Every structure is written in structure tokens, then in C-alpha cells.
Amino acid sequence: MTTVNGVETTPVPGMLVLRLDVHRDDRGWFKENWQRARMVEAGLPDFGPVQNNMSLNAQRGVTRGIHAEPWDKLVSVAIGKVFAAWVDLRPGEHFGATYWTEIDENVAVFVPRGVGNAYQALVDGTVYSYLVNDHYSPGTTYPALDLADETVAIPWPIPLAEAETSEKDLTNPSLAEVTPMPPKRTLITGCRGQLGQALAREFPDATLVDLDELDLTDPKALEAWPWQEYGVVLNAAAYTAVDRAETPEGRADAWAANAAAPAALARIAARRGLTLVHYSTDYVFDGSEVPGGHAEDEPFAPLGVYGQTKAAGDIAVATAPRHYVLRTSWVIGEGHNFVRTMQKLAADGVDPAVVDDQVGRLTFTDELARATRHLLDTGAAHGTYNVTNSGVPRSWADYARCVFELTGHDPARVSTVTSEEYAAGKSLSPRPLHSTLCLDKLAATGFVSRDAEVALADYTTPLG
């Protein structure tokens, strides 16, 4: 084991032992059994406890466990002393890993979700305390293990034949018969969209939902969802009809999907300790030219309703303690998009006029999904990150010419117009002219962004 700031690691991944300061005098002793600021600073996770349970063990030899509940807990002794033991009942290479120690008023142990917990009272009148981060659900069955399992071979100080145990604990299965507790799941919302499809490929074990499976604008549907089974939410659901958002009906729909729904998810994430990943847009800025591109901390200045609703969603998501906002631009994935449109026009003999005064970088959805995986796997600091493909910023007309050339057509067939000329006589939302996002913060986490033109070449194939 290693010790840092008074916190000891153990052979069971994520399980930590903390030595507590106990203040004694003639009257007895006092200790801070849970002190969030100090304990988090020392190295314990900020696991968000919501319930404290106490167990009185009247006689020496009372033995309880081995139970693995689907929540994290900080265990300690209020009065007395126990021999405590833990067995990792999570799937993976550490399944069956064990650790045991004596606990008195000086010791607390952080036990991760899925690790089986057991103890034996060593003195009469011992009170054992569990501080947990989910509410107990009577009648629910969780993995349990035989106290006398020969594989883990826990050295109980008081032989189990002489100990007092419950009838239930005497019938728990052996380690070979235990079904490991499944890890918390990942939820992908908006799974049928371009980004949702890419996220589903990157996170193949995730639960996939769209509006018909989980309506994020319906409070009753959100309340009924089994959030206790999830650890990460990837919110790819959004209202992206930029021009229709300027209409009365579209405005209401955009605010519901892009602002109210993320706000509801943020409240759930904060309450449940979930990691919430949300996807934003360059439309939260006004498109002013910024040397090096728009940074994550640039003040919002959206030009239209779509940008306003997305900015509101960003602000709401930032209230969740464990959040990532991935801000992106010019998204290209599966389905209808700018590149596919240009491919079809080239193949059909149509010579398009494309705006040349809007400048930015393409973002392929697999790049967004790859960045999502990177931030989660590396435990990068929570917050907002710009995510696009890298390379020289181009105009839409530049990218159109690239598509024509890549598909074997003359790029000179693409003519140019200004945004003002293109919008003449149309009911369009204003577009930001400069959409390039600065990627320095993402690069500092170790992520290497892929060049947009290289990605475009791989994505673009001649249409049959």
C-alpha cells in the first residue's frame, strides 16, 4: 500500500483507508467522521453522500456480510472495534481481490460501489456506520458472498462457528457462483442523430435513447428513468433547425430542447453524481474574428435564437459538478450534411454557389466521439473544451471545392457568394462569419486533433 496525505491505497482498486484525527479528553473523544473539504483535499472522491446508516452489534462476535451494494460508502466505527473485510465483486481482473483490517474510532474506509463489505464485532456494543451516496431500497437483491468462502479465505478472528450471523448470510453463494455487479452504464441521448450514431460506435455498451424512448423535456419521464444504474450521460440530443428556430413554433421547441432539457439533466447529474457530457456550438459567439480562434472562456454573444438557446444550455450544464461541454462547429457525420450535398451536386452536374465569407473548420462526428472518450478516460478537468478537427481554417466554398476535387470533379465549378447575397429573399437565421475555435485547451490534455482535410479525404468517396 501507499500513503498520501494520510490516505492509504489497498489491493482493491478505488478502496481507500483514512486515518482520522480523534480528539480525546476525560469525557471521551470527538472526531469529524465526514469532512468534505478536508477529505477530498486528502484524496477521497467527492462521492456526494445522501444517507447515513448505523448498525448496533450487541455482542462480540456478531458478523455481517459479505454484501456489495450499488453505491459508494464511507464506513467507520462510532463505538467499539471491528475486524472488517472487503472483496471486489466487480467484473474484471480484480474480481475476488481482498483486503481486511481492524477499524476503531481512528479509521474510516472508502468502499467503492460493487465491493463486498463485511465485518465482525470485536467488542460488545459496537456501532458500525455507513455513509452512502444513494438511498437504500428495501427488497432489492445485490451480489453477496459466503463469509466462509475458501477462495478469499478471510481470517476471521472469531471462528464463524462461534460467531452470530444471520440466516441469510449463512446461505450466500461461493465466489465461483457470484454474478459480478455490472458497472454503471453510459446513456446516449439523441442516438439517431449524426453525433449520436458516432457516439454509439465509440461506446458500444451504452444505452441508446431518442425522443420516443426518453423525452428530455418531460419531467415525469426524467423522474421515472433508473438513473441509479448510470454513471455517464452523453447528451447528443439537440434542436438543430437553425432557421426554423426563428419561427414562433421553432423558438419554443429550441428553448425546450437546447436549454430546458440540459438544465434538467444538470440537476439530475448534480443530485446523482453523474458525469454529464453536453455538446455545444460556435453559434454561441457572434462570429467576430479572433486571432487563434474563439477560446472556451470567451463571453457569449449569440446572433440568433439557436445560438441563444445553446448558450443557455451551456450555462445550465456548467452547474453540474461533473460536466464536460464540448463546443464544436460545422459537424459532419452520417446522414444529410454539407459534404454529402456537395457530393451529390457534383455527381448530378450542378454547379453550386457557396458562401466564401464564413470561415471555420469541419468537425467529423468520429472526432467528437474520440475526444469524448479521451476526456472521460483520462479524467481531464471538468469544464468546457473546444473540439473540432485541426488544420488551416477554410470557408464553406473552400471545402466545397475540396469535395468536388476529391470526387473527381472540376473544383472550378464551385462559384462563390457572400452570406448577405445568399440570404437575400430568404428567412434565415444570422450565421457567425468566423467560427474557428482554439484547440489549445484540448491539446493540453494530450489529445491530438486530426486534420480536417485528411479526415475529409477519408470521408469523401465517389457516389455510385
Among residues 177, 207, 226, which one ends one of the domains?
A: 177
Mean pLDDT of the region 151-159: 96
| Alpha-carbon gap, residue 156 to 175, rounded angstroms | 17
Mean pLDDT of the region 91-98: 95
Alpha carbons within 13 A on the beta-carbon side of 180:
14
Residue percentage of the chain with pLDDT more than 70: 98
Work out the pLDDT band at 29, boundaries 50, 70, 90.
confident
Q: Is residue 464 part of a domain?
A: no
Residues 385 and 252 in one domain: yes
Mean pLDDT of the region 266-276: 94
Residues 288 and 156 in one domain: no
Residues 33 and 98 in one domain: yes
pLDDT at 24: 86
Mean pLDDT of the region 252-273: 95
Q: Is residue 417 part of a domain?
A: yes
Mean pLDDT of the region 283-299: 95
| Alpha-carbon gap, residue 191 to 121, rounded angstroms | 50
170, burial (CB in 10 Å: exposed 0-12, middle 13-18, buried 19+): exposed
pTM: 0.86
Mean pLDDT of the region 214-238: 94
Q: Is residue 436 part of a domain?
A: yes
Residues 285 and 232 in one domain: yes
CATH number at residue 170: 2.60.120.10
Residues in a beta bridge with 96? none
Q: Which of 171, 154, 168 lies closest to 118, judged by CA?
A: 154
Task: Tell me the catalytic residues.
Answer: 67, 130
pLDDT at 191: 95
SS (H, E, C) the chain: CCEECCEEECCCCCCEEEECCEEEECCEEEECCCCHHHHHHHCCCCCCCCEEEEEEECCCCEEEEEECCCCCEEEEEEECCEEEEEEECCCCCCCCCEEEEEECCCEEEEECCCEEEEEEECCCCEEEEEEECCCCCCCCCCCECCCCCCCCCCCCCCCCCCCECCCCHHHCCCHHHCCCCCCCEEEEECCCCHHHHHHHHHCCCCEEECCCCCCCCCHHHHHHCCHHHEEEEEECCCCCCCCHHHCHHHHHHHHHHHHHHHHHHHHHHHHHCCEEEEEEEHHHCCCCCCCCCECCCCCCCCCCHHHHHHHHHHHHHCCCCCEEEEEECCEECCCCCHHHHHHHHHHCCCCCEEECCCEECCEEHHHHHHHHHHHHHHCCCCEEEECCCECCCEEHHHHHHHHHHHCCCCHHHCEEECHHHHHCCCCCCCCCCECCECCHHHHCCCCCCCEHHHHHHHHCCCCC
Q: Which of 202, 463, 448 lies closest to 339, judged by CA?
A: 463
The answer to whether 261 touches 217, Cβ cutoff 8 Å, is yes
Mean pLDDT of the region 12-27: 89
CA-CA-CA-CA torsion sign (274, 280, 284, 287): positive
CATH number at residue 273: 3.40.50.720
More confident residue, 46 or 435: 435
Residues 153 and 275 in one domain: no
Q: Is residue 303 part of a domain?
A: yes
pLDDT at 341: 95
Mean pLDDT of the region 334-344: 93
Among residues 177, 202, 227, which one ends one of the domains?
A: 177
pLDDT at 282: 97
pLDDT at 79: 94
Residue 426 has pLDDT above 90, yes or no: no
pLDDT at 168: 86
CA angle 198, 204, 206 (to 5 degrees): 95
| Alpha-carbon gap, residue 126 to 114, rounded angstroms | 25
31, burial (CB in 10 Å: exposed 0-12, middle 13-18, buried 19+): middle
| Alpha-carbon gap, residue 39 to 32, rounded angstroms | 10
Work out the pLDDT band at 296, boundaries 50, 70, 90.
very high
Work out the pLDDT band at 4, boundaries 50, 70, 90.
low
Q: Is residue 31 part of a domain?
A: yes
Q: Is residue 107 part of a domain?
A: yes
Q: Any idea which residue has 443530485 for its cell?
A: 271
Residues 57 and 191 in one domain: no
Residue 124 has pLDDT above 50, yes or no: yes
- Comparing 110-119, 192-201, 307-316, 417-426, the range with the smallest average pLDDT is 417-426
Work out the pLDDT band at 154, boundaries 50, 70, 90.
very high
Work out the pLDDT band at 231, boundaries 50, 70, 90.
very high
pLDDT at 324: 98
Q: Is residue 286 part of a domain?
A: yes
Residues 96 and 191 in one domain: no
Amino acid at site 385: Y
| Alpha-carbon gap, residue 392 to 287, rounded angstroms | 17
pLDDT at 337: 94
Residues 17 and 43 in one domain: yes
Mean pLDDT of the region 439-443: 98
Residue 464 has pLDDT above 60, yes or no: no
More confident residue, 36 or 402: 402
Q: What dihedral angle (degrees, nearest 10) is formed by the CA atoms of 238, 240, 242, 246?
A: -40
**pLDDT, mean over the chain:** 94
| Alpha-carbon gap, residue 337 to 254, rounded angstroms | 20
Work out the pLDDT band at 26, boundaries 50, 70, 90.
confident
Q: Which of 251, 252, 257 lies closest to 214, judged by CA?
A: 257
162-220 pLDDT, tens per residue? 999 998 898 899 999 999 999 999 999 999 999 999 999 999 999 999 988 999 999 99
Residues 194 and 164 in one domain: no
Among residues 177, 199, 234, which one ends one of the domains?
A: 177
More confident residue, 279 or 427: 279
Work out the pLDDT band at 380, boundaries 50, 70, 90.
very high
Q: Is residue 265 part of a domain?
A: yes
- Total structural domains within the chain: 2
Residues 326 and 308 in one domain: yes
Residues 162 and 189 in one domain: no
Residues 119 and 235 in one domain: no
User: Which three cell numbers, joined as nine digits, stand for 395?
Assistant: 470557408
Residues in a beta bridge with 79? 127
Range of the domain at 98: 3-177
Work out the pLDDT band at 1, boundaries 50, 70, 90.
low
